Amino acid sequence: MSERIWTAALVVIGDEILSGRTQDRNVAQIAAWLNVQGIRLAEVRIVGDVEGAIVEAVNALRARNDYLFTTGGIGPTHDDITVDAIAKALGVGVEVHPAARAMLERYYAKRGGLTEARLRMARVPAGAELIENRLSGAPGIRIGSIFVMAGVPHITAGMLDALTGTLEGGRPVLSATIGCWVAESEVADLLGAVERAHAGDDGAVQIGSYPFFRDGRVGANFVVRSPDAAKLGACMADLAARLEGEGRAVTDGGI
């Protein structure tokens, strides 16, 4: 029986990522968090602060994934258009969420009060719930299967904490790594053979090969991934044995 696989997609929103000014950190952070929830990050799109681009990405990805996350564009300034774009994608209006307004009033009580610009951060697509943000007052937003998160990575981290354990998923994908001082091209056939022997019809075991060049030598880390601990262990043991059978030393946990 094939296992239900839960997937998520992510839309990273922001001109600063596409201009190269800012190094994105949210893809890796959200990917790792999703995996613990038993959800696989299936695809990511990075789009600019352009309503049409956000609408297109949101609608394409929410249609074919269990969950959709967005990061960026939920602040108080003119370039923060994520809420309006998502409302447009869903065909709903935008409203001020009373609890978000109350949160912002508390947060800004000693910081100059709730201005019109700050009140923008209480706007949500009609029907949305809030995701707690203990760090900076402005909450994240959940509407159905869509999760609207901050762009600043440590604020996103806090929002993910608030969501931990609340999303239905499957078994997390487990992984194990071994490293080897070898050019991956020398063991490519071996890797392919081991994967074919263990993958199964449902691709339940996968091997990734990640070469590197360090201290003047080439090497590679081989990562075996599976949601099934027994299959993972069997594949890893076979891989290590075949590499050692060719006289290559392997390092558990990678190099």
Binding site for its own copies (CB under 8 A): 12, 15-25, 27-32, 35, 40-49, 53, 75-79, 108, 111-112, 115-118, 120-121, 135-136, 152, 154, 173, 175, 183-186, 188-189, 191-192, 195, 206-213, 223, 225
Partner residues linked to 210 by β-bridges? 221
Residue 118 vs 143, nearer CB to its own copies = 118
The CA-atom distances, in angstroms, between 47 and each of 53, 58, 120, 149, 252 are 6, 10, 22, 15, 39
Which lies closer to its own copies via its Cβ, residue 192 or residue 200?
192
| Closest separation in Å from C-beta 52 to its own copies | 11
Considering beta carbons, is residue 16 or 129 the nearer one to its own copies? 16
Per the CB < 8 A criterion, the answer to whether 34 and 8 are in contact is: yes
Residue pair 224/239 in contact (Cβ under 8 Å)? The answer is: yes
| Least gap, CB of 240 to its own copies (angstroms) | 17
CB of 156 to its own copies, least distance (A): 13
218 or 234, CB closer to its own copies? 218
Q: What angle do CA 44, 125, 37 make, to 5 degrees?
A: 45
List Cα–Cα distances, 162 to 99, 114, 119, in angstroms.
Answer: 16, 24, 22
Helix segments in 82-222, DSSP class H:
82-90, 98-108, 116-119, 153-163, 188-198
Helix axes 153-163, 26-36, angle to 10 degrees: 10
The token pair that represents 7 in the structure block:
């997937």
Q: How far is the CB of 140 from its own copies (least distance, A)?
A: 16
Least Cβ distance, residue 176 to its own copies (angstroms): 12
CB atoms within 10 A of CB 129: 14
Spatial separation of the C-alpha atoms in residues 7 and 137, rounded to whole Å: 30
User: In the complex with its own copies, which residue's Cβ is closer, 107 or 234?
Assistant: 107
Q: Smallest distance from the beta carbon of 225 to its own copies, in angstroms?
A: 7
The Cα–Cα gap between 177 and 197 comes to 18
Identity of the residue, 12 or 128, whose beta carbon is nearer to its own copies in the bound complex: 12
Q: Which residue number, 135 or 234, has a Cβ lying nearer to its own copies?
A: 135
Nearest distance, CB of residue 168 and its own copies, angstroms? 20
Classify strands 146-149 and 67-71 as parallel, antiparallel or unpaired: parallel
Query: What is the amino acid identity at position 14?
Result: G
